Amino acid sequence: CILVSNGPDTMLIDAGNNEDGPKLVSYLQSAGVEDIDYLVGTHPHEDHIGGMDDILNSYDVGCLVMPDKAANTKTYQEVIEAAGNKNLPVTVPEEGQTWQVGEANCQVFSCEAEDTGDFNQWSVVIRMTIGEVSFLFTGDQTIENEQNITEAGYNVQATFYKAAHHG
């Protein structure tokens, strides 16, 4: 997972495996995180959303962002149930959508794919810029995502790059 803290705002991208949830909550508490403005589940694999139910149960979350791709897994259902318990709807991002985390501008590059059964193709890809510094967060994007992003003409140059699919 990746924690972005900018001014009073926070964004958490992914939340590790199921067993990582309590450790992640403990880390966030020790870091002084009081709430989370954006909680992004890049795609519904357990190693990306496993700890999200713990985050949702422990924090006020402003916006839960996940692709329009449901999984038939206990992990996914636990995330949806935790969000429902807080009356927090899932926000499905759209390509080109933007939002602010403090002074940082976030833009969604990819979040839709053909339904091949590969959840990685549904990874939410975000480019974040603050001043002259940029970050590219890629989830587990596939080569098809990369091709779609470059063909769409998005600026993929970044100061920092989170390598897709765990490097």
Tens-place pLDDT, residues 23-62? 999 999 999 999 999 999 999 999 999 999 999 999 999 9
Tens-place pLDDT, residues 84-95? 999 999 999 999
**Model pTM score:** 0.95
Q: How many CA atoms, within 13 angstroms, populate the side-chain half-sphere of residue 4? A: 26
Cα–Cα distance, 155 to 53 (Å, whole number): 33
Identify which of 100, 30, 92, 28 has the alpha carbon closest to the alpha carbon of residue 57. 28
Task: Return the residue matching tokens 């499905």.
Answer: 92
Helix then strand then coil, % of the chain, to nearest 5: 30, 30, 40
> Which amino acid is it at 59?
Y
Contact by Cβ (8 Å): 35, 10: yes
Mean pLDDT of the chain: 94
